[in-house]
């Protein structure tokens, strides 16, 4: 098992113990909560129970008092009032007695009947249950007497006066004491459970300290040390990157100086090369046209044509090299004005018309109706179109198709698309074609040798205009090149389209 697997197993073990410890604490806290809840509920029930039991003495005194009020009544109305109060007191004491015996869940009174309470309530000789019922029975006898029939010597009244304070009251007090004793014992038992839970919680904390927090502390220390080591390693890497960046910056500066030197060299050499080339092209053209008289034979005419064509090709190559070098250095100056794109496309198509007819290629040119003008350098835009069209025609076989389309996009940009059904390229070949002097090696390209500057130069000239070029190609299926000019270069009605659209948006806002 490797170090990584060992650390992972240790982390899993530590996590298990950590979760187990938290679960134990949660269980103990929950048990403590419910214990406290039970204590509070039972204390409330026992308090209510003791309150009801203690109130029985008061009810007995009220019964005796209302019976005395009935005797002292001056008329039947006073008698009736005292009699009604006596009835309510009798019923209240009876209900309280039943609640003490059977409990009252809705009233929050638990049913409690210990051995001591059984003796107090149900002793065969002097049970409290019998005593209360006997006391209430005499009270009902008094309640049943009419006005004038109740006197101080009435046996039922004499019983209440003598039995209540001397017999019933001590028995009720004994019951209250028994309830209080039971309540104290029950609460003491719950408190012992609570103490046990507290001790268990302390034990769980001690176990967590030894089996969780100490290993966790060790793991944290190890992790901190590893992080420190990683940080030191990262700092070393940053220092190395900084040195590499500084070296890269130096190399970049050297490359830029070399590129500037190359551009200056090419610019200087172009004048040296163009002068003899122009002479060669001019004299060969004059000889070919017969200005100095006819050629002696056909072979001389063919040589003159080759000299003139080779000179023109070499001059075009020099111009392309200079253009792409200047474009990459951003030293190419644009002569911008409004361009009729439809006319420019037509002019460019005429330049490749001979090759199209020679190869029997079908050409489809489509433009969006009312296509706006383009604010750009006409010569450079024509150069872009000519390079892309020349490539499309060059690498499309006889009977193939070349399409050129122009129109506005939804975002206001103007798009020109040139596509063909030629040999196409895979991703690797496309990367080569986009590089300077890059030529894809296959039978078709070998039959159509070129400089490899057409597509890269078109891309650089488009970038100078702020345009983007998107090239997609599929092997044996053709190539599609889309050039998107930003809306800031689109002109319509004498104004840049972007400004016109902004005004339209303000008007509709």
The pLDDT value given to residue 368: 84
Q: How many CA atoms lie within 13 A of 392 on its CB side?
A: 30
The pLDDT value given to residue 499: 40
Say if CB 92 and CB 208 are below 8 A apart.
no
User: Cα dihedral angle (305, 308, 313, 317), rounded to 10 degrees?
Assistant: 170
List Cβ<8 Å contacts ≥24 apart for 503-509: none
C-alpha 508/C-alpha 502 separation (Å) is 10
The pLDDT value given to residue 317: 61
C-alpha 284/C-alpha 279 separation (Å) is 8
> What is the end-to-end Cα distance of the chain in Å, rounded?
69
Domain ranges in the chain are 16-222, 337-508
C-alpha 285/C-alpha 363 separation (Å) is 32
pTM of the complete model beyond 0.75: no
Both tokens assigned to 223: 């992790």
The pLDDT value given to residue 313: 56
Q: Does domain 337-508 have CATH number 3.30.565.10?
A: yes
C-alpha 141/C-alpha 362 separation (Å) is 130
Would you write out the chain's pLDDT as a tens digit for each of its 509 residues? 555 566 666 667 667 766 776 777 777 678 767 766 766 767 777 778 788 888 888 888 999 899 999 999 999 999 999 999 999 999 999 998 898 888 888 887 888 888 888 888 888 777 888 889 989 999 999 999 999 899 999 999 988 888 877 888 888 888 888 888 888 888 888 788 878 888 888 887 788 777 777 777 777 788 788 888 988 999 999 999 999 998 888 888 887 787 667 666 666 666 566 667 667 777 676 776 776 777 777 777 767 766 766 665 566 666 666 566 665 556 667 889 999 988 989 888 988 888 899 999 999 999 888 889 999 999 889 989 988 998 899 899 999 999 999 999 999 999 999 999 999 888 888 888 777 655 555 444 445 555 567 788 888 888 988 999 999 999 988 999 999 999 999 987 555 544 434 443 443 34
Q: From start to end of 396-457, where are the E strands?
A: 401-408, 414-420
Say if CB 345 and CB 367 are below 8 A apart.
yes
């Amino acid at each position: 098992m490797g170090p990584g697997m060992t650390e992972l197993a240790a982390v899993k073990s530590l996590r298990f113990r950590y979760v187990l410890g938290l679960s134990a604490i949660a269980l103990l806290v929950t048990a403590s909560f419910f214990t406290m809840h039970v204590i509070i509920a039972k204390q409330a029930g026992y308090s209510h129970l003791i309150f009801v039991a203690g109130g029985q003495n008061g009810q007995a005194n009220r019964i005796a008092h209302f019976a005395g009020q009935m005797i002292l009544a001056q008329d039947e109305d006073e008698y009736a009032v005292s009699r009604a109060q006596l009835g309510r007191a009798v019923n209240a004491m009876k209900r309280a007695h039943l609640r003490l015996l059977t409990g009252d869940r809705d009233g929050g009174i638990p049913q409690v009947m210990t051995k001591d309470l059984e003796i107090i309530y149900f002793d065969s000789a002097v049970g409290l249950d019998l005593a209360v019922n006997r006391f209430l029975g005499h009270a009902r006898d008094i309640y049943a007497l009419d006005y004038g029939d109740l006197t101080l010597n009435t046996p039922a009244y004499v019983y209440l006066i003598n039995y209540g304070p001397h017999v019933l009251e001590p028995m009720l007090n004994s019951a209250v004491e028994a309830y209080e004793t039971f309540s104290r014992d029950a609460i003491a038992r719950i408190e012992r459970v609570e103490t046990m839970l507290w001790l268990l919680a302390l034990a769980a904390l001690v176990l967590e300290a030894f089996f969780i927090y100490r290993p966790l502390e060790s793991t944290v220390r190890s992790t901190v040390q590893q992080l420190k080591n990683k940080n030191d390693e990262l700092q070393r890497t940053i220092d190395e990157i900084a040195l590499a960046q500084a070296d890269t910056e130096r190399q970049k500066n050297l490359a830029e100086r070399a590129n500037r030197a190359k551009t200056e060299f090419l610019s200087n050499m172009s004048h040296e090369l163009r002068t003899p080339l122009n002479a060669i092209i001019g004299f060969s053209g004059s000889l070919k046209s017969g200005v100095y008289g006819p050629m002696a034979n056909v072979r001389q005419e063919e040589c003159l044509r080759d000299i003139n064509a080779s000179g023109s090709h070499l001059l075009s190559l020099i111009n392309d090299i200079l253009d792409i070098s200047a474009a990459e250095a951003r030293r190419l100056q644009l002569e911008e004005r409004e361009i009729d794109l439809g006319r420019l496309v037509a002019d460019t198509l005429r330049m490749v018309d001979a090759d199209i007819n020679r190869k029997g290629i079908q050409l489809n040119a489509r433009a969006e109706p009312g296509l706006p003008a383009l604010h750009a350098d006409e010569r450079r835009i024509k150069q872009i179109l000519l390079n892309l069209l020349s490539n499309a025609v060059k690498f499309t076989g006889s009977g193939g198709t070349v399409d050129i389309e122009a129109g506005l996009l939804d975002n206001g940009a103007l798009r020109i698309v040139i596509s063909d059904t030629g040999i196409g390229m895979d991703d690797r070949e496309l990367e080569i074609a986009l590089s300077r002097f890059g030529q894809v090696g296959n039978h078709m390209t070998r039959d159509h040798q070129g400089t490899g500057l057409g597509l890269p130069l078109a891309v650089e000239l488009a970038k100078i205009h702020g345009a983007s070029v998107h090239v997609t190609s599929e092997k044996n299926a053709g190539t599609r090149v889309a050039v998107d000019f930003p809306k800031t270069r689109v002109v319509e009605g004498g104004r840049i389209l972007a400004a016109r659209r902004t005004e339209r948006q303000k008007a509709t806002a």
